Amino acid sequence: MNLPLLSLIIFLPIVAGTVMLLWPSASRDTIRRLALVTATITFLLSVWVYIGYDFTAGGYQFVEKYSWLPNLGIAYHVGVDGMSAPLVLLTGVVIFTGTLISWNIDRPREFFGLLYILATGVFGVFAALDLFTLFFMYEVAVFPMYLLIVIWGWEKTREYAGMKLTLYLLVGSVLALVGGLAMVFAARANLGYLTFDLLELEKAGLSVAFQRFWFPVVFFGFAVLGGIFPVHNWSPDGHVAAPTAVSMFHAGVLMKLGAFAALRVGVMLMPEGAKFHLPWIIFLTLVNVVYGAFIASVQQDFKYVIGFSSVSHMGLVIMGIATLNHDGLLGSGVQMFSHGVMTALFFAVVGMVYDRTHTRHIPSLGGMMKKLPWAGVAFIIAGLTSMGMPGFSGFIAEFPIFMGVWRYEPWIAIVAAISIVVTASYVLRVAHKVFFGPVPEAFQDIPDINIFDRVALVTLVFFLVGIGVFPHIMVPWIESGVNYVLTILGGA
């Protein structure tokens, strides 16, 4: 393929975002149209990357490599494999739907400008095949997030939550950076030259002692963004405080960034360290899964329910990775996509309800199915997905994870399975209280959602149901990525 497809998808958003920021005289409508066009093209490009990826061939495709600073072995090197292609698609989906549901946002120039700079960072991390490129893009994703939360977030907690989230993520990422630099120099001792290339670092033969020392630093550094216990608590606060599109982006895509980077840099570059440490890390993820679900079930705030459910579901993703076996990794791969779309859908619905009722207090709500039928149906579909109901993508994701965990250690799987019951109970409770029953007096006249919102909901539902009914539109991709990870784990 001659067209630099990945570079196009990585840089289109930041170019559009910069144009918006540098164009103060543009009218509100001009900016919104520019945003919609950008988001649509980005979405279509991400679909193209996904469909164009040949999973029978496997390996890295759409690879581009340009030297950036040869003296230090730094290159702009990007490519996707079966693990990252679905995540590129996920980012495309969320940026598109997030733009649609933010159609009436205040200060659209800065909002979309910052959101698209963020998108560039996210695409960059998923496609990075160079450690420097990865860190560079990772940090690009962080600062717009802060401004997006403090400017457009929920007045009560936005400053606190925005800063908390930013500091947590940055502490993690800079510690991972030190680990990454240590890795680069340790690899130089073996290779004889300095390189940041992930594919070369994989083959650098880092010593077991080195891997065992640095693995936890790198893995946790990234897993903070994946929401691992006990450094998860930026996540519910951050998601609740953020404006809707940013919650969708954050819980839907950025948390995957953490899990993905922990896999790519932690597990794949230091497999011996992973084998040594993951057996205890898996217990932390078990806490995520069960404790997250229980906390979600006692929340009175609609958005906090979803925030904690993300903690629980992301625990499953990292748990699947921690099993280091085929089933667990496969499930994690699907769960990253499935949870991304599902949680984006959840937050979109919460946002639609909140924008109209100005409350997220569950007992004060009711009967929304009559007022916002589209949102209600979408919420129930997302809810069924999160319970792991067959026919929805959550089942395709969670079933292999539990199988993988069972192979690893049956009782962990049994304990983790408690979360399914708890999830079902809180989803049904929230669905019942918010969407059924009588409509409270105050909310008799709320308007239904507009066409943009409907397109967004339908797009998200399409992926949840599509993968649930036809798993082979995603599983073979992930499978090819997992096989590659397994060769690294087996070969080390």
Partner 1 sequence: MSALNSAMLLALLPELLVLALMGLVLVVDLAGWVQGRKLGWLTLAGLALIVLVSVTTVVPDAAGSVVWGTTLKHDALSFVFRMLFLIAAALTIFFVLDVPALGDRGAFYLLLLASVLGLMLMAMANDIVMLFLAMETATIPLYVLAGFFTGRRESVEAGFKYLLFGALASGFMLYGLSLLYGFAGGEVEFAALAQGLAHTDAPLWAVLGALMIVLAGFAFKVAAVPFHFWAPDVYQGAPTPIAAFLSTASKAAGFALLVRVALVAFPATTLPWWGAALAAMAAATMTLGNLLALTQTDLKRLLAYSSIGHAGYILMGVVAATKLGLTAVVFYLLVYLLTNLAAFGIVAVLERSTGTTAAAQLAGLYKRSPWLTLATLAAFLSLAGVPPFAGFVAKVWVFMAAVEAHLEWLAVIAVLNSIVGIYYYLVVLKVAYEYDPPADAPAIRVSQPVVWALTALAVFIVVAGVAFGPWFHWGEWAAMALFH
Contact flags string 83-122 toward partner 1, x per CB under 8 A: ---------------------------x------------
Q: Which two tokens stand for residue 458?
A: 């339908």
State the nearest-atom distance from the C-beta of 260 to partner 1, in Å: 19
State the nearest-atom distance from the C-beta of 415 to partner 1, in Å: 35
Told to check if 163 binds partner 1 by CB under 8 A, we report yes
Told to check if 1 binds partner 1 by CB under 8 A, we report no
State the nearest-atom distance from the C-beta of 84 to partner 1, in Å: 20
Cα 448 from Cα 372, distance rounded (Å): 5
Those residues whose C-beta lies under 8 Å from the C-beta of residue 90, and which sit 6 or more positions away, are 252, 253, 256, 336, 337, 340, 341
Residues 52-81 that bind partner 1 (CB under 8 A): 68-69, 71-72
Those residues whose C-beta lies under 8 Å from the C-beta of residue 226, and which sit 6 or more positions away, are 255, 256, 258, 259, 262, 314, 317, 318
Contact pick of 63, 175, 455, 488 for partner 1 (by CB under 8 A): 175
Total chain residues near partner 1 (CB under 8 A): 34
State the nearest-atom distance from the C-beta of 276 to partner 1, in Å: 20
Told to check if 166 binds partner 1 by CB under 8 A, we report yes
Instruction: Compare residues 24 and 230 and give the one whose CB is closer to partner 1.
Output: 24
Contact pick of 8, 19, 143, 287 for partner 1 (by CB under 8 A): 143
State the nearest-atom distance from the C-beta of 176 to partner 1, in Å: 10
Q: Interface with partner 1 by CB under 8 A: which range of 77-85, 166-174, 244-252, 362-370?
A: 166-174
- Amino acid at residue number 378: A
287 alpha carbon, distance to own chain's centre: 20
| Residue 205 exposure: Cα atoms within 13 Å on the Cβ side | 4
Instruction: Compare residues 67 and 444 and give the one whose CB is closer to partner 1.
Output: 67
Q: Interface with partner 1 by CB under 8 A: which range of 134-142, 261-269, 308-316, 405-413?
A: 134-142
For residues 208 and 314, the answer to whether their CB atoms sit within 8 Å is no
Cα 172 from Cα 339, distance rounded (Å): 22
- Residue 179, Cβ neighbours under 10 Å: how many? 24
Told to check if 426 binds partner 1 by CB under 8 A, we report no
Q: Interface with partner 1 by CB under 8 A: which range of 161-169, 268-276, 426-434, 475-483?
A: 161-169
Instruction: Compare residues 2 and 71 and give the one whose CB is closer to partner 1.
Output: 71
Instruction: Compare residues 181 and 208 and give the one whose CB is closer to partner 1.
Output: 181
Instruction: Compare residues 174 and 414 and give the one whose CB is closer to partner 1.
Output: 174
- Residue 462, Cβ neighbours under 10 Å: how many? 12
Contact pick of 8, 26, 147, 191 for partner 1 (by CB under 8 A): 147
Instruction: Compare residues 24 and 447 and give the one whose CB is closer to partner 1.
Output: 24
Q: Which two tokens stand for residue 125?
A: 């991390």
Q: Which two tokens stand for residue 154?
A: 């929920």
Residues 10-29 that bind partner 1 (CB under 8 A): 21-22, 24
Contact pick of 3, 167, 421, 428 for partner 1 (by CB under 8 A): 167
Give CA separation, 416 vs 51, 293, 425, 446, in Å. 34, 10, 15, 40
Contact pick of 34, 85, 127, 177 for partner 1 (by CB under 8 A): 177
Instruction: Compare residues 130 and 453 and give the one whose CB is closer to partner 1.
Output: 130
Told to check if 126 binds partner 1 by CB under 8 A, we report no
For residues 217 and 179, the answer to whether their CB atoms sit within 8 Å is yes
| Residue 11 exposure: Cα atoms within 13 Å on the Cβ side | 7
Contact pick of 31, 35, 134, 170 for partner 1 (by CB under 8 A): 170
Q: Interface with partner 1 by CB under 8 A: which range of 181-189, 224-232, 412-420, 427-435?
A: 181-189
Q: Interface with partner 1 by CB under 8 A: which range of 170-178, 380-388, 399-407, 471-479?
A: 170-178
State the nearest-atom distance from the C-beta of 222 to partner 1, in Å: 14
Binding-site ranges for partner 1 (CB under 8 A): 21-22, 24, 68-69, 71-72, 110, 132, 135-137, 139-140, 142-143, 146-147, 150-151, 159, 163, 166-167, 170-171, 174-175, 177-178, 181-182, 184-185
